[in-house]
Each structure stands twice: as structure tokens, then as C-alpha cells.
Chain A
């Protein structure tokens, strides 16, 4: 699994590729926390467009980061196209906290306009 970071203004985009399970959860957590320490970051978009597999360990990673980002007044969004990953997000109830978008453009528009 790999995460590529880019940013648009104060919004950090974390683009995941590969498989996010318990084995890679700690790596993902540390990488994102490292980026969050940078002063310019306020909002975070989890881009799962190229993530091929995720189980419930991924939910823990997202919820943990969500709590930290909210504490600093930031907003969070998820981009998801893979039906199975979207389904896991739904049954976990995470979609009630974090909006899910189909593309980066939708996510950026929503986070910036709000």
C-alpha cells in the first residue's frame, strides 16, 4: 500500500493505492499524522479511487484521523468509487460523519464552499 500526498490550499489530499488492512493501518496512520503536523493543513480528503481493498481496519484509521482534524477545526471528505469499500463505509456509519464523494472535484468544491 502507498499514500501520495498533494494539497490544494489548506486541503491535504491523501491518495491511497493498493490494499488497506490491519497490516498497513499503522503505516497509514503515521504517514497521515506526519502530514497533519504541517501548519498549512486544515482539511483532509481521503482519496480511495485507487484503493483495491479495504477492511474494517481502514475505518479505524479514518475515524482516528477525523477526530484529530476536527479538533483543529478542519473538515474531512472521502472519495470512493469501489462498491465494496463504499459498502464498508456505509455499514460502519462513518458516512454520517464524513461525506463521501465520487470525484476529487466534487470533494474539493464541497469542502471549499462550505
Chain B
């Protein structure tokens, strides 16, 4: 299926860009006339995905994060990609409360929050090469 609209954003892995990325994603999604709730769902999920890339992908080192947003009829697909260390065991990483960084007070709830606020998420990762998280959301589900 061809997207109706698409955008691509690249930014460095600085934590101040977490807010920047979620605001950009929200601005893109706003064109689809979402409810405030749906907009906040997208912002929260994007924030989690970008935070993961910064903390786990790049382990707070300098790197580039790419975000691609694709609009379909009444849904959006948001890809967040890093070229960081990758995830060895995706299933384990997605378990609620699992964290590889308890010393940094990470709650281990990032993927659970993404799953809870989006309709579907996909995680693709190759150790040593990087990770892509794809977030899907359909709008107007309440109708």
C-alpha cells in the first residue's frame, strides 16, 4: 500500500531531541485530524522509542536517529531507527519490567507503554547494526 503522505527526519541522539521528535510526529499526525487522546498516544510512544535509541542503542554516545512517518487513509506508521548496538534478545527486551539498565533507574516499561498506546508495534534489530521500531496507529477507532 502506498502512503498518502510521508516525512523523514534525522537528528542526533541528544536527550533534548526526545521532546523535539515527539512534537514533530504529533505535528505530522495532526493533519489526520486525530482526537487529543490519539495525539497524546502517538507522542508518548514516539518518546519511548526515541529514548530507547538514545539510552540503549547508542548508550548515550553520539549517533544519528531517523524517524519516518507515513500516512495511510486513516492510519499512521512511524519508524524510529538507530544504528547502535542492537538488541540480542528482542522477546526479553519487550517483557514488562525487564531492563538492562536498572542502575540508571530505567523502569523497563518502554515497550509496554508503546504497545499500550499504539495498535501494533514491530521491533527489528541486528546486534552491532542497530534497531528499528515501527509503531502503527489507526485513527477514529472510537467510532
Q: Which residues of A contact B (CB under 8 A)?
A: 19, 21-23, 25, 29, 53, 55-57, 59-61, 63-64, 83-84, 87-88, 91-93
8 intermolecular pairs with C-beta atoms under 8 Å apart: A21-B47, A55-B44, A55-B113, A56-B51, A57-B107, A60-B106, A91-B109, A93-B96
Bound CA span A88–B18, Å: 18
Decide yes or no: A22 and B44 within 8 Å by CB, A60-B106, A60-B107, A91-B113 being known contacts. Answer: no
Decide yes or no: A87 and B19 within 8 Å by CB, A25-B105, A59-B107, A92-B107 being known contacts. Answer: no
B105 near A22: Cβ-Cβ < 8 Å: no
A63 near B116: Cβ-Cβ < 8 Å: no
Q: Which residues of B contact A (CB under 8 A)?
A: 15-16, 18-19, 37, 40-41, 43-44, 47-48, 51, 54-55, 96-97, 104-107, 109-110, 112-113, 116-117
Bound CA span A92–B96, Å: 8
| A60 nearest in chain B by CB position | B105
Q: Hey, which chain A residues are within 8 Å of B51, CB to CB?
A: 21-22, 55-57
Bound CA span A92–B111, Å: 11
B55 near A22: Cβ-Cβ < 8 Å: yes
Bound CA span A84–B19, Å: 17
A88 near B113: Cβ-Cβ < 8 Å: yes
A91 near B116: Cβ-Cβ < 8 Å: yes
B113 near A22: Cβ-Cβ < 8 Å: no
CB distance from A53 to the nearest CB of B (A): 7
CB distance from B50 to the nearest CB of A (A): 9
* Residue of A25, A57, A61, A63 contacting most chain B CB atoms (<10 Å): A57
Q: State which of B37, B54, B109, B116 has its C-beta within 8 Å of the C-beta of A22.
A: B54
| B97 nearest in chain A by CB position | A93
Bound CA span A93–B116, Å: 14
